[in-house]
Chain A
Amino acid sequence: MDIAVLIKQVPDTYGERRLHETDWSLDRAATDAVIDEIDTRGVELALTLTEQHGGEVTAVTMGPDGATDALRKALAMGAAKAVHITDPALAGSDAVATSAVLAAALRQLDVDLIVTGNESTDGRSAAVPAMLAERLGLPAVTSVRALTVDGDTLTAERVVEGGWARIQAPLPAVVSVNEKIAEPRYPNFKGIMSAKKKPVTTLTLADLGVDADRVGAAGSATRAVDGAPRPPRTGGHTITDDGSAGAQAARYLIERKVL
């Protein structure tokens, strides 16, 4: 089975992330750009499935030129090839516009399964997987923590409020995974050294036949109108132990519905 894994390059969550105060877009220069950690888990799932069932993994990203680094990480882990959708007109695309572009690229690929992270650590809309499935007319199985494939059917454990549900769907399908799905493997040295030799196809909007008016900040249905940096951490709540600190701490947590 051939699998496409969608990956996204995001600001490193270890760094301090910032927004531009003019249009509240992400300041990509402020932090190192890395492959989103959830996507390395998606790659791991895809590699495991192709090791079991045959086929190959294609890593797909939409992003600026530097996003090739994120693709190379997926190739080093074991993906066979990569597709990089890049076009200056794409900057500022929202989830609706992004899903249109990704759908156009995925229609060209002819894969049995599309794997995505459940949400990126930067945009966090968590909307793209379902939108993509809708555009492609495929089943959407989101927030998956475990997945197996038998013939033309996938069986997934989907995390729902208060528990999980077993879902079956015919292939092809779109699956979004959560952080429980798999521990990403370390790329081995052979994988790293061969990553550069693997094919990376670059696609522009013209290659995809997508109208530039439908994408980018101008073509998006949503835009950020206001924002604020996260307030600095406050000193916290201090309890002086007069013998009842344990009870006070418990009450504090109960009041905030932590316990």
Chain B
Amino acid sequence: MRRRTLFRNKLLPFLLLAPQLAITIAFFFWPAGQAIYQSLLIEDPFGLRTEFVWLENFQIVLSNPLYLEAVRVTVIFSTAVTLLAMAPALLLAVMADQVIRGATGYRTLIVWPYAIAPAVAAVLWLFIFHPNIGTIGQGLRAMGFAWDYRLHGDQALVLTIFVSAWKQVSYNFLFFLAGLQSIPKTIIEAAAIDGASPMRRFWQVIFPLLSPTTFFLLVVNIIYSFFDTFGVIHAITQGGPGRATTTLMYRLYRDGWVNLDLGGSSAQSVILMAAVIGLTVIQFRYIERRVHY
């Protein structure tokens, strides 16, 4: 879209852009460039010499069994978080869309976890699922279930998935609800008059019309499960026990920040950047098409 009336000034627009551009260059483009550059270098253990090695860092990273394990954990973790964050949100949104009385009240009570930091959400649930002091954790043990997420990797994974999804439901709920409310009621009524059952109306009319929202949320949730869940993992399990909850993001933090492997962690950064850029591009191409039809 183009404007007809514009202000004429040679210098002013650049001055207006300057603060945003300065920060963007200093803290986005320069570091991203550095990450790509570092990912092509290998430093000797004493930091005295660096050698340009093309893609060797990527070869090392991608053939490292620990990294491949983190890939596997991330796939399981992200799939589960995305599904668990989206399906209940859709159910709740469909229900809230049908409720006439008290809809705002429900919305307020469902929306508030959006305001909670992932790490704080982790603290709340840690207190509940703690094997010795937690209300549910104790209950599980009383029922004879050997619950201790500090010892059992699969339990740790389940807990971090649950907390991460719990925190994200409210975000998805808001988008699904807005999507549902924008579907013209006449279409649904027409289907009802044609004798379609409520289930059929949902799956054959409402759900397809909701697909742009669903697709948008799918991408957002995958990105969320990659990066924002770091706080949950760091607070509850620190990637353990063993490496059961070490996702790619946690691996990057470990290798880059704790173990100070510059080349390797830069290669990992570049791989993750490529993944996010890929996801975002897919998302925008899809939305572009939706706008045109």
Q: Are A and B physically bound partners? A: no
